[in-house]
Amino acid sequence: MAKRRITYLTDALIITCIVQSARADAVVEAAQNVGAQGATVTYARGTGLRERMGLLGVTIDEQKEMIRIIVSEEQADRVFEAMFLAGQLDRPGMGIMFMNDLTRVATFIPDDVLDAAQRSEREGGDTL
């Protein structure tokens, strides 16, 4: 059996963006256009001001899409800005987004990428 190992990535952040229904595709595409590798999109229901605006006390059910993207510290500002603009979050009621530091991230990393990172580390460059 092959030896198994966990490689932890550091200097990573997660961007969470909650937008109106049917806006996620544009937000993800914008993020990928500036270097994001992938995204997770889930569906959610929001509450807040809009639910109090229902006609005759009938609440308005607001469907949302939630996008989560893990990025490197280097990419974070560029991806955040692209997502903000694509989601039209500068307009009232369009959504919200935030970014959090991640202390530890682990996933499959191809051997050639690990080897390149180790060479770079030995030569004094950045690590994963």
pTM of the model: 0.79
Residue corresponding to tokens 């989560």: 68
Q: What is the mean pLDDT of residues 14-31?
A: 96
Number of domains in the chain: 1
Structure tokens that stand for 122 in this block: 């030995």
Encoded amino acid at 93, one letter? G
Residue 65 lies in a domain: yes
Contact (CB, 8 A) for 95 and 87: yes
Residue 55 lies in a domain: yes
CATH of the domain at 54: 3.30.70.120
Q: What is the mean pLDDT of residues 53-67?
A: 68
Task: Kindly tell me if the per-residue pLDDT of 31 is higher than 90.
Answer: yes
Q: Which domain holds residue 71?
A: 9-122
Residue 115 lies in a domain: yes
Query: What is residue 8's predicted lDDT score, i.e. its pLDDT?
Result: 87
Query: What is residue 108's predicted lDDT score, i.e. its pLDDT?
Result: 86
Enumerate residues 6+ apart whose C-beta is below 8 A from 75: 34, 35, 36
Report, in this order, helix, strand and coil percent for the chain, each rounded to 5. Answer: 35, 30, 35
